[in-house]
Amino acid sequence: MSSTKYYIFLFNFLLITSTTLSKSNFQPKTLFLLVKKDPSTLQYITQIHQRTPLVPLKLALNLGGESLWVDCQNGHKSSTYKPARCESAQCDLAWSTSCGNCYENDTFLPICNSCYNVVSNPVTSTIGEIADDVLTIQSINGSIPGPAAIVPNFIFSCPPTTSNLTQNLGKNVKGMVGFGQQSPVSFATQFASIFKFSRQFAICLSSSTKRNGVIFIGHSPYFISLAFDASRDLIYTPIITQQRFVTITYPHYISVIRPSPEYYIQVNSVRINGKTLPLNKTLLSLDENEEGGTRISTNVPYTELEPSIYDIVSKAFINEMPKEVTKVPSVQPFKTCFDSTYIGVSRLGYDAPEINIVFQKQSVYWTIIGSNSLVKVKEGVICLAFVERKEARGQAIVVGGYQMQDNLIEFDLSRRRIGFSNSLFYRQTMCANHNYA
């Protein structure tokens, strides 16, 4: 089924919800979530309120995830939980891959004939029951929090208790909130459909493990402080839409083509201190198997580079460091480390060579400065905050969370583009300086 038909389904399914909300004359243009980096897993954690009665749930941010999933089988209690029945609109919207699993451990379940889709964490995947329930999220009134928005039929997925899907997440984290592109039931897309605003969101990840960053869902301005709209400095590059084959077992065993929820962009070159690096151009292009190219991911703590690209980038970075700075033994997971004695620190972070990620033309680039290119690993030692890709195959560049910290990244799905702000340190602010706590 085409993506156009999916969005028609979504509009029809959520029509009652949006009508109910509009009767209260409450139609927010922007919503928000607070998000904080977990110090043990380096995942970015947010919180929502779901169910009846409402329960606070800690969730990990999954930029390329198709939907919200919650470990709701273990101790889940809600009077408004409704599983999606086979062949229903919810099943189609949530890209159901199977249906009718009425048995668990040879025991007939009281509720069956529901549909399932694929849910995953950063390490593994399983299936989850598609359902809907009450969910609340706060709105923004100017640069301060506004009223809470209540959605009675928010679609999400429930993996079985036996999946242990939360074991690779942080302490007390009960699931993941997916913002994947093209998915009709991604977190941002559902809210856009319900409240009738453009499909866009922006993330501003804090570099602190003690202070919150913020995720904006809906229209700009995106105020990081009372007077500063971080969206005004964005430079844009197109989102690449990639197709992938998915196997469906119900009602027939078939393979279908669906759009990938991941965020791919075209990087044409990389410069360090203004010098263009001799990278393999073929590796920088995404192929039909989702190999090569550049992906943006919050599941990766530090930007991953294909081995030959890492080798070129690290050597060029070393050559541009001050001569008095010496290398020291590597500290896992980093291969390129330095004695920090003679490395200066300013309001932009460590004094480091400037890295430019060049997009569709030489004048369109994202700048990575010392606060996002070097990381302190222990007293007296800092390392290049890029790692070499371990897998034999994959993307040439996977932009990770550390490089996005204290930058505003806007995902404008309606216009098929991603905007980068450069470091907010240039504006003498940071992602934790918002007023939404």
Q: Is the four-CA dihedral 390, 394, 397, 401 of positive or negative sign?
A: negative
Determine the 3-state secondary structure of 417 from DSSP: strand
pLDDT given at position 23? 37
**pLDDT at position 11:** 45
pLDDT in tens, 181-213: 989 999 999 999 999 999 999 999 999 999 999
Question: How confident is the model over 403-413, as pLDDT tens digits?
Answer: 999 999 999 99
Provide the residue count of the chain. Answer: 437
Confidence of residue 252 (pLDDT cuts 50, 70, 90): low
Per-residue pLDDT tens digits for 125-157: 888 899 999 999 999 988 889 999 999 999 999
The pTM of this model reads: 0.91
What confidence tens digit (pLDDT) does each residue in 115-125 have? 999 898 988 88
Q: What percent of the chain has pLDDT over 70?
A: 89
Can you give the pLDDT at residue 162?
Answer: 66
| Burial of 28: CB neighbours in 10 Å, binned 0-12, 13-18, 19+ | buried
pLDDT at 18 over 70: no
Backbone angles phi, psi at 244, to 5 degrees: -145, 155
Cβ atoms of 111 and 123 within 8 Å: the answer is: no
| Residue 163, helix vs strand vs coil | helix
Domains plus CATH for the chain?
3-225 (2.40.70.10), 238-244+259-427 (2.40.70.10)
For residue 283 the two structure tokens come to 């590796």
Residue 21's pLDDT band (cuts 50, 70, 90): very low
CA 47 centroid distance within chain: 15
368-404 burial: b if 16+ Cβ within 10 Å, else e:
bbbbbbbbebeeebbbbbbbbbeeeebbbbbbbbbbb
Name the range with the highest mean pLDDT among 74-88, 216-230, 328-342: 328-342
**Does the pLDDT value for residue 17 go beyond 80?**
no
Average pLDDT, the chain: 90
What pLDDT does 100 receive?
A: 74
- As a whole number of angstroms, the distance between CA 62 and CA 72 comes to 18
Higher per-residue pLDDT: 24 or 345: 345
Question: What span, in angstroms and rounded, lies between the C-alpha atoms of 292 and 305?
Answer: 10
Which has more pLDDT, 3 or 220? Answer: 220
- Of residues 318 and 227, more confidently modeled: 318
In 10 A of CB 19, how many CB atoms?
9
Q: Which residue has the higher pLDDT, 108 or 330?
A: 330
Q: Mean pLDDT across the stretch 5-19?
A: 46
- The candidate with the shortest Cα–Cα distance to 33, out of 196, 220, 223, 217, is 217
283-313 pLDDT per residue, tens = 999 999 999 999 999 999 999 999 999 999 9
Look at residue 232 and tell me whether its pLDDT is greater than 80.
Answer: yes
Beta strands in 369-436 (DSSP E): 374-378, 381-384, 386-388, 397-399, 407-412, 417-423
pLDDT reported for residue 403 = 98
Q: Looking at 1-15, 137-151, 328-342, which range is the least confident one?
A: 1-15
**Per-residue pLDDT, 105:** 54
- The Cα–Cα gap between 284 and 294 comes to 7
**Full DSSP string of 330-344:** -BTTBS-EEEGGG--
Question: Is the pLDDT assigned to residue 8 strictly greater than 50?
Answer: no
